[in-house]
Structure 1
Amino acid sequence: MQRNIDTAQAEPKDRARWPAMRRGWRGKCPNCGSGPLLKSYLKVNHDCAVCREEFHHHRADDGPAYLTILLVGHLMAPTLHLAFVTWRPEPLTLFTIFAVGCVGLSLYLLPRLKGAMIGFQWAKGMGGFASST
């Protein structure tokens, strides 16, 4: 009987995953949705200025970069093929347009995917987020 009580106490409280990920996508605290999650382009705040939820133990690591590469590649590769087959532009023109497009889309997605990943970790109680209230 004691074992069941210990495992129930070790599990994090149920948190809504999608609202937390949407708040993270917007760069806001996954807990309250008001305080900033990031203090610069990709640097995560130590804690929320509004609700004091701690963020320092997140483990986003390379996940947002891999997701960015996956999304940009899957969006731009078919578009590149379609543009080449349809209009047959000069190679330098095609390269310039798609290089700028890939860089721009990557720069847009990277901090948003990092915020969404931190929101997911917070909602699921992964890492140090399990002991937070």
Structure 2
Amino acid sequence: MPELAARTDDPADQPPIVRPHSLWRAMARGVVGRCPRCGQGRLFRAFLKPVDRCGRCDQDWSLQRADDFPAYASLFITGHLVAPLAVHLARDASISPAMASAIILPITAVLAIGLLQPCKGAIIAVQWRMGMHGFQREPSAGDDATP
């Protein structure tokens, strides 16, 4: 039986944390549900519940205060994606209003719910990167945001 390599929790054995140089990189990490600081740890422990601390870089995420803004952002994006489809279907004389509703309503519901977590991740990343709500701003080389 091959021997299993012993797992070490020694920080010296871990690869270095690469902090994002830009707000956009931090937001991209948040959108995919990764820690905006290190890009490797999970940001969410449940659908919309962020972890208290990153398991990789130990960043405290309990300071975030996204509140209702992710829902507003999700609906704003959904509306801008669904509105052209609704206008197109309304102009098409060969489709009934019931059929148009049967197409538009499920798409709207799936988009609105599906965009909630990415929007929340991006908003948490913005709060962290800009030093809002108790987060301490971490300047880095190539910093593109003002203090």
**TM over 0.5: same fold?**
yes
The answer as to 2:31 corresponding to 1:19 is no
| Alignment deviations for residues 61-102 of structure 1 (CA, whole Å, 9 cap, x no partner) | 011111111111122122101122135412221111111000
How many Å separate the matches in 1 of 2:103 and 2:120?
A: 26
Secondary structure of the corresponding residue to residue 136 of structure 2: helix
The answer as to 2:125 corresponding to 1:119 is yes
1:94 corresponds to which of 80, 85, 100 = 100
| Alignment deviations for residues 45-72 of structure 1 (CA, whole Å, 9 cap, x no partner) | 1010111001001011011111111111
**Are the equivalent residues in 2 in contact too, given 1:53–1:132 (CA < 8 A)?**
no
With structure 2 as the length reference, what TM-score do the two structures score?
Answer: 0.75
The answer as to 2:91 corresponding to 1:82 is no
The answer as to 2:70 corresponding to 1:64 is yes
Moved over 3 A (4+): none
The answer as to 2:47 corresponding to 1:41 is yes
How many Å separate the matches in 2 of 1:16 and 1:52?
A: 20
One-letter amino acid matched to 2:42: P
Higher helix share goes to which structure?
1
Q: Which runs of 5+ in 2 are unaligned?
A: 1-19, 140-147
CA RMSD between the two structures: 1.9
What is the aligned residue count? 120
Instruction: Give the corresponding residue for 1:9.
Output: none
Greater radius of gyration (CA)? 2
Secondary structure of the corresponding residue to residue 87 of structure 2: helix
